Each structure stands twice: as C-alpha cells, then as structure tokens.
Amino acid sequence: MKFALKYNLSSETLKYYEKIGLIEKVAKKSGIRDYKDEDLERISFIICMKHAGLSLEDIKKFIDLNKLGDTTLDDRLKY
C-alpha cells in the first residue's frame, strides 16, 4: 500500500512536511520515497497533533524542542 494512501495524505503533503522539516529527508529507492518505521511514527504523531488542534508551525516547534532533549520538557508540556 502506498504510504500516502495509508495515511490519507497526498504525496504533495508528505513532500511539504519534508521540506519544512516536520519529517527528516526521506531516502529514495528507484526514485520513489522509501519511508521507514520512524517516518511512519512521525507522520502518525503529526496527524494526532493536527487532530488535537495544533498548527504545523506549533508541531514544528514541538519537534525542534524534542530534538534538544530533556532540558526542554517544561517547554514541550506547554503544547
């Protein structure tokens, strides 16, 4: 099953998420994006956060804080 169909997202949306840094750059296999388990988890997280009412901008801020580690726990709890 195509990744975009599984998550009910267009391929353009997935490319946009990659472009703005919501997901890491996805490797390509024979010219087709080859999503890994961690990509699936991240997309699931983004969808969940969107359903909770967060904007893509806020989700990006949360992801960036998460990358900085445990010192940002208090800041992340604000979301």
Q: Which domains does the chain have, with CATH numbers?
A: 3-77 (1.10.1660.10)
Are 46 and 17 in contact, with CB atoms under 8 Å apart? yes
Report the b/e string of 3-39 with b at 16+ CB within 10 A: bbeebebeeeebeebeeeebbeebeeeeeebebeeeb
pLDDT tens-digit profile of 13-70?
Answer: 999 999 999 999 988 889 888 888 898 899 999 999 999 999 999 999 999 988 888 8
Rounded CA separation 77/13 (Å): 27
Are 67 and 31 in contact, with CB atoms under 8 Å apart? no
pTM of the model: 0.79
